[in-house]
Structures are given as C-alpha cells and as structure tokens.
Chain A
Amino acid sequence: MFSTAYGTGRTVKKRAMKDVIGKRGENIVELCLTEYSNYPAPLFDLTHLGDKWPVVDYYVELTTVPGKRPFFFLQAKATAATTPKKSLAISTKRDDIASLLEIPAPTYNLGIHEPSKRVFIRSVHDGVAVKAITRIPIGYELTANNLKILHDEVVRFWRQRRHKPTNSVFL
C-alpha cells in the first residue's frame, strides 16, 4: 500500500497488518536485546515504534558509551515455523530492504523464532543487494556473544561520523 505525504510526491509505505510481529514476538525481541547475564548491565535499550511507523519496528540505543547515545534500527519478522537447522526462513520484501537502505544509520532485519524464543539478525547496509532477504544463518543468532559483536559494530559506525551538526539556522 502506498500513500502520498505532504503533497510533495514523496511516497510513504504503510505496513500491512500481516507484517505486525505480535505482542509475543515484541516481548521476545525486547528480552533478547536487553539480555545481560554476561555483562554488568544491558548493552541496549529499545522502544517499539508502533505498527503505524513505516519500515522499522524498533529504535535501539546503546547504553554503554559515555556522553553519547549511538543507535540503530530494526525491522522484525516473526515465524512459528519448524526449528531452524542451517538458517531461519523469514519473509521480507524487496521494498523492505530498499527502504532500510534509505535510512542513514545501521539497520538490521530480525528473525524471531517464536516457539524457541530465539532471535536472529542480518544487516542491511551499503552494498547489500536490493532484494528480499529470505534466510538468516543460524550463526547470526543473537547470543550473548553476538550481542557484544553487534554493539561494537554500531559503536564503530558512529565513531566514523560527526556526533552532531556544527551549525544551524535555528541557533
């Protein structure tokens, strides 16, 4: 579904209700991202953006960088399919990936296997093919170790960029 916003010709892609991951899936994601049995405190804090927000489901901040709040976005898909062996099957669309690539920040697809409460992650970054992602490898499960790897990856991204604009008309 498409609709035009602001009369400028910019199209806003609305989420089909079937894309909603459901409350249980949301809870699983939040528990996974705030898991900290291996760390003194959770590495991330996150909020669900709501079903009406296009493209992304979660805004996630890192909690560990003094004086800064690096962030990234997640799009989540839940499945109750059979237990993944080599990979988890998810149903993203080409338009999902294209939209994520438009966001000037780290973006990831999450696959949630609801029966086992396991969460898998796959990056959507510059160079990723603009086509539907249908599988996430088992090795990309968001284990405690992979949470740290994700954290460090996001930190590295934001370190390469200016923290804030240096001027504004509205000073």
Chain B
Amino acid sequence: MNNTRAQAEIVGRRAELLAELFLQDLGATFVSRPTADTGIDFIVAFPNGQGGTNLSAVEVKATEHPVGDFYALDSKWYKRLANSNVPSLLLVVDAKHNRLYHAWPSEEDVKPNSGIRTIRIRITPIDDEVKEQIRERLAGAPAGGHR
C-alpha cells in the first residue's frame, strides 16, 4: 500500500464494521459507540421479551489471520470486560477473511493478583447456530447484572 491511511487502521475499521453489522443482524435495538475511549467498542441493546431492554458491552479485536482455538488478550482489557456490571462480549474479527469469533469474558478466568500480562481465552467461531446462541444470551441476560 502507498502512503494512504495505514493498513492497520483500515483493518481495524473493517473489523468494527463487520462487528456492527453482525450485531444489527442479530436484531439489536441499537448499536452505539461510546464517545470517550472507555475500552469498550459498542454498547448494544436487545429487547428481552419482557417489555424491557438488556444492555451489553462489546469489545472488538481485529486480525488478518485465521484464529485458532485461543486468543491472547491483554489482561487489563480482559479484567475490564470481565468485571463490568453489564454482560460483556468479545468479538475477534478476521477482517481479511470476514470471519468472526467470540468469547464471554468472565471474572472466573482471571486469577487475582496473578500479575500476568496476557490472558489466553478460548474463542468460538461464529456460525448460524452460535449466532442464535449469542442472540439469546444478549437478549436474555438478567437486567442490571451479569453472569
């Protein structure tokens, strides 16, 4: 590429767009980007079937390569997602091959005071069946807390 916007920036942007369209296709009421750098890429809302709306946080990580069973994440990012008061979804997006993978960060995965800098978490490729599972979890998470 010549001296236009760096490829990494374009790849990161593609990952965000793929994630945003994915969440819209799941049936999100809205997909919103925080205006400040909060470490969260999207706040999403899904109708919960009881007349209310459930909110979740979504973090997007971009890559250009096929992803294996595990993904290494900075432990600070992981703790931020795992210890939030809303359910958090991690989307790993292969922006070159247009494939998505996901995980649900949990405080149970983080050992207290471990001092480790990265956490390897198991991620799952998203197919049609998994897509429905994600939708159900985003729509059905208990109001005001996370599992």
Q: Which residues of A contact B (CB under 8 A)?
A: 24, 27-28, 30-31, 34-37, 41-42, 45, 61, 63-69, 117
Stretch at the interface among B18-26, B67-75, B107-115, B125-133: B18-26
- Inter-chain residue pair count (beta carbon < 8 A): 43
Instruction: Kindly report which residue of chain A lies nearest to residue B24, judged by CB atoms.
Output: A24
Total chain B interface residues with beta-carbon distance under 8 A: 16
The verdict on B5 contacting chain A, using a C-beta distance below 8 Å, is yes
B5–A45 contact, CB under 8 A?
yes
The verdict on B117 contacting chain A, using a C-beta distance below 8 Å, is no
A42–B24 contact, CB under 8 A?
no
Q: Mark B1-24, 1 if CB is under 8 A from A, else 0.
A: 110110100100110011011001
B-side interface mostly: helix
A-side interface mostly: loop
B4–A28 contact, CB under 8 A?
no
A68–B13 contact, CB under 8 A?
no
B96–A34 contact, CB under 8 A?
no
Shortest beta-carbon distance, B21 to chain A, in Å? 6
B17–A61 contact, CB under 8 A?
no
Given A34-B14, A37-B98, CB of A28 within 8 Å of CB of B21: yes
In-complex Cβ contact of A30 among B4, B13, B24 (8 A): B13
B21–A117 contact, CB under 8 A?
yes
B4–A45 contact, CB under 8 A?
yes
